[in-house]
């Protein structure tokens, strides 16, 4: 929504320039205006949201209060730049500083997780966890290939292939065929035996070991066994919620 509003404003600026209705100095001053002056209506919405965030409480584990420094990066001139591709291999020119930033981010990530750059690569381009998961499936699984993840009502995440009997809710169940594994309702623990049995029948290409709402450690060895039972599925760890703990050792 914010994007659409800002895009509309940008095209107005463009029209004003094209029509010659505004001098270059007045369009320059428009470009330098604060949001409060440029679009008071939108500014009021942003201010209301800031107040809501300060005074309300939603206990959503994957939301966060971004620091001022991060907000400054997001609102900087970096926002203006196209940078498809990888550092040093972009589709557009003018990416030397974006390349430097992305390489810095990758090397900081490797050192935060204590990883050997000879063995590990880092992709820092996804906006957040859901598009990151879609990117992983797209890279590893052919269209309509099979994935398995913990069912959403059992503590899994939408992006692990969630669908209901009537509707494919997540794009990850629309573009890939998904089968859920579940918790044992009597213990609340992942039913690893059943997961392995289902994996041997469904033969997914990827099994996702990852949770949004599950209070125990995952048994990665059992996941590996289920992957082997599927005939050599890839094991994907979606560690969205525990990444900080992993980095901290």
Ligand X SMILES: Cc1ncc(COP(=O)(O)O)c(C=O)c1O
29 contacts ligand X (rule: CB under 6 A): no
212 contacts ligand X (rule: CB under 6 A): yes
> Does residue 61 contact residue 214 with C-beta atoms inside 8 Å?
no
Segment contacting ligand X by CB under 6 A, of 11-19, 103-111, 123-131, 186-194: 123-131
Which of 141, 199, 236, 240 touches ligand X by CB under 6 A?
Answer: 240
Please give the helix or strand (H or E) that residue 63 lies within, else none: none
Segment contacting ligand X by CB under 6 A, of 16-24, 74-82, 206-214, 224-232: 206-214
Please, what is the Cα angle at 169 between 167 and 171, to 5 degrees? 120
Phi and psi at 179, nearest 5°, equal: -130, 130
Rounded to whole angstroms, how far apart are CA atoms 5 and 2? 5
**Both structure tokens of 144:** 């309509």
> Does residue 203 contact residue 230 with C-beta atoms inside 8 Å?
yes
Q: Closer to ligand X at the Cβ: 66 or 128?
A: 128
# residues contacting ligand X (CB under 6 A): 13
> Does residue 192 contact residue 218 with C-beta atoms inside 8 Å?
no
180 contacts ligand X (rule: CB under 6 A): no
Which of 157, 178, 179, 181 touches ligand X by CB under 6 A?
Answer: 157
Which of 83, 95, 102, 129 touches ligand X by CB under 6 A?
Answer: 129
Residues making contact with ligand X (CB under 6 A) = 62, 128-130, 133, 157, 159, 210-212, 238, 240-241
């Amino acid at each position: 929504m914010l994007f659409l509003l800002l895009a509309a404003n940008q095209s107005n600026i463009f029209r004003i320039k094209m029509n010659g209705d505004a001098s270059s100095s007045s369009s320059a001053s428009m470009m330098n205006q604060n949001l409060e002056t440029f679009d008071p209506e939108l500014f009021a919405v942003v201010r209301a949201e800031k107040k809501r965030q300060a005074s309300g409480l939603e206990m959503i584990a994957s939301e966060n209060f971004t620091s001022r420094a991060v907000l400054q990066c997001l609102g900087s001139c970096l926002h203006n730049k196209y940078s498809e591709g990888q550092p040093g291999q972009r589709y557009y020119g003018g990416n030397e500083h974006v390349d430097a930033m992305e390489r810095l981010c990758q090397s900081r990530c490797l050192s935060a997780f204590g990883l050997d750059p000879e063995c590990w690569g880092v992709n820092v381009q996804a906006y957040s966890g859901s598009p990151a998961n879609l990117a992983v499936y797209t890279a590893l699984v052919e269209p309509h290939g099979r994935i398995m993840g913990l069912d959403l009502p059992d503590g899994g995440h939408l992006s692990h292939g969630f669908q209901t009997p009537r509707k494919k809710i997540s794009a990850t169940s629309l573009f890939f065929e998904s089968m859920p594994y579940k918790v044992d309702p009597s213990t609340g623990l992942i039913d690893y035996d059943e997961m392995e049995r289902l994996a041997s029948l469904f033969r997914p290409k990827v099994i996702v070991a990852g949770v949004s709402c599950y209070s125990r450690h995952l048994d990665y060895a059992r996941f590996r066994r289920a992957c082997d039972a599927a005939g050599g599925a890839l094991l994907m760890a979606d560690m969205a919620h525990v990444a900080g703990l992993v980095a901290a050792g």
